[in-house]
Amino acid sequence: MSRYMSSRFADLEAYVPGEQPQDMQYVKLNTNESPFPPAPAVTEAVKAEIDRLNLYPDPEGKVLRQKLAELYGVKTENIFLANGSDELLSFFFMTFCDRERGVAFPAVSYGFYPVYADLYGLDAQIIPLRENFRLAAEDYCGIGKNIVIANPNAPTGRTIPLSDIEKILRSNPDHVVMIDEAYIDFGGESCLPLLPKYDNLLICQTFSKFRSLAGGRLGFAIGSPGLIEDLDTIKYSTNSYNVNRLTMAAAVAAIDNNGYYVANSRTIQANRAYTVAELSKLGFETLPSMANFIFTHSPKVDGGTLYQELKARGVLVRHWDKPEITGWCRVTIGSREQMDIFLEKVREILEEAG
Ligand code: PMP
């Protein structure tokens, strides 16, 4: 920290993204990317857009918002676009969370939530999970704070039913409840059907996982027109052109090729079941996951050692040195070939551990 940085950030601990090695030698199962490239039509759409890069993008993103509205059966005024859902989360905190309204989220969840809370000077209420990392809806009912919950949760992969989300929404009518559905398209159930009933519901989604566009950086919110308008006010006070032309062109083409991504998701779900079954034969305990990753641990090797040993063998997974989860690793579900290499290395490590 230089002597020029604002003192209010003196204690800020920045988010640490998963490793992104640039040599590409690893089997990369650490940041929940898709192993599949974008649909061929997406590549074509991006190429066609390159010649228009001299022009700013549409700050309203009308064409893309219209496409998303059609896909999800809502109106354009229900959609907000962001530069990745990380940016959307940042806008959520900036727009709705202040000292008076506060914010609450689970103790084991996406690591960016506490960072944003700190960045925006909030004293977040951090709510522990129950047994087996289960989220209990009653812990959030009537708490009188804004709430962020990832469903499926990360890094656990566990889901909560719509009925629980509804209880949380109903009991906190004066606060915004953001449901982060970054991983919803791998078998989970979106809370979109609750939208007409609850104007305090804000759904956060991303093109980074199911739609193979992590490098394009596109997230979006679905919510009541009032919430979207508020997000827009902050967006236009921060960065009006937050989503670039190439990404918008890519996203429109991706929506037009939805079937390609649905088929890929089915493959990921099959590979997930296969990986869980194979790990179970090796004595691993894995939480039930509806995401494109699993959270798993072995009684024979602790999480940190497994991470290190896999890395030494060219396979990257994610491990956190936090007491509640230090025994565990999060493993992205990739192609069948990638999962076979991962499993082969795990077998090797277990054999060496005796
Ligand atoms: N929410 C959750 C729960 C995530 O795991 C991630 C990705 N790491 C994000 C949001 C952000 O994704 P992106 O910014 O790529 O849309």
Compute the average pLDDT of residues 154-175: 98
Distance 93 CA to ligand 1 centre (A): 15
Binned at pLDDT 50, 70 and 90, residue 143 comes out as very high
In this structure, the strands spanning 103-106 and 79-82 are: unpaired
- Can you give the pLDDT at residue 24? 62
**Rg from Cα positions in the chain:** 20
Could you tell me the two tokens for 314? Answer: 């060219």
Rounded to the nearest 5°, which phi and psi values hold at 85? -75, -15
pLDDT in tens, 100-128: 999 999 999 999 999 999 999 999 999 99
Q: How many helices (H) and strands (E) does the chain have?
A: 10, 12
CATH of span 15-37+259-353? 3.90.1150.10
- 15-37+259-353 and 40-256 agree in CATH topology: no
Residue 91 neighbours by CB under 8 Å, 6+ apart: 80, 82, 231, 234, 235, 238
Compute the average pLDDT of residues 193-218: 98
Compute the average pLDDT of residues 127-143: 98
Burial 15-45 (b: 16+ CB within 10 A, else e): eeebeeeeeeebbbbbbbbbbbebbeebeeb
Compute the average pLDDT of residues 1-27: 89
Q: Is the pLDDT of residue 23 over 90?
A: no
Q: Is 182 near ligand 1, meaning CB less than 6 Å away?
A: yes
Question: Architecture of domain 40-256 in CATH?
Answer: 3-Layer(aba) Sandwich (3.40)
Binned at pLDDT 50, 70 and 90, residue 7 comes out as very high
What is the phi-psi region of residue 204: left when phi exceeds 0, alpha when psi lies from -120 to 50, beta otherwise? beta
* Domain parsing of the chain, residue ranges: 15-37+259-353, 40-256
Which of 155, 89, 148, 123 has its CA nearest to residue 11?
123
Which of 69, 49, 99 has its CA nearest to residue 255?
69
Q: Is 178 near ligand 1, meaning CB less than 6 Å away?
A: no
Q: Are 316 and 29 in contact (CB under 8 A)?
A: yes
Cα 245 to its chain centre, rounded Å, is 23
- Cis peptide before 106, with omega less than 30 degrees from 0? no
Q: Is the pLDDT of residue 210 over 80?
A: yes
Q: Which helix (H) or strand (E) holds 325?
A: none
Q: Is 180 near ligand 1, meaning CB less than 6 Å away?
A: yes
Closest ligand 1 atom number to CA of residue 150: 3
Binned at pLDDT 50, 70 and 90, residue 129 comes out as very high
What is the phi-psi region of residue 292: left when phi exceeds 0, alpha when psi lies from -120 to 50, beta otherwise? alpha
Q: Are 144 and 103 in contact (CB under 8 A)?
A: no
Q: Which helix (H) or strand (E) holds 284?
A: none
Q: Which amino acid is at 93?
A: F
Compute the average pLDDT of residues 250-264: 98
In this structure, the strands spanning 177-180 and 146-150 are: parallel
Binned at pLDDT 50, 70 and 90, residue 20 comes out as confident
- Can you give the pLDDT at residue 354? 78
Q: Is 214 near ligand 1, meaning CB less than 6 Å away?
A: yes
Q: Is 110 near ligand 1, meaning CB less than 6 Å away?
A: yes
* Residue in the block written with tokens 């719509």: 162
Distance 305 CA to ligand 1 centre (A): 26
Which of 187, 154, 181 has its CA nearest to residue 165?
181
- Can you give the pLDDT at residue 102? 97
Residue-averaged pLDDT of the chain? 97
- Can you give the pLDDT at residue 19? 84
Binned at pLDDT 50, 70 and 90, residue 292 comes out as very high
Q: Tell me the C-alpha distance between 50 and 69, whole Å.
A: 25
Q: Are 68 and 220 in contact (CB under 8 A)?
A: yes
Q: What residues form DSSP beta bridges with 202?
A: 178, 223
- Can you give the pLDDT at residue 18? 86
Strands of the 146-150 sheet, one edge to the other: 79-82, 219-223, 201-206, 177-180, 146-150, 103-106, 125-127
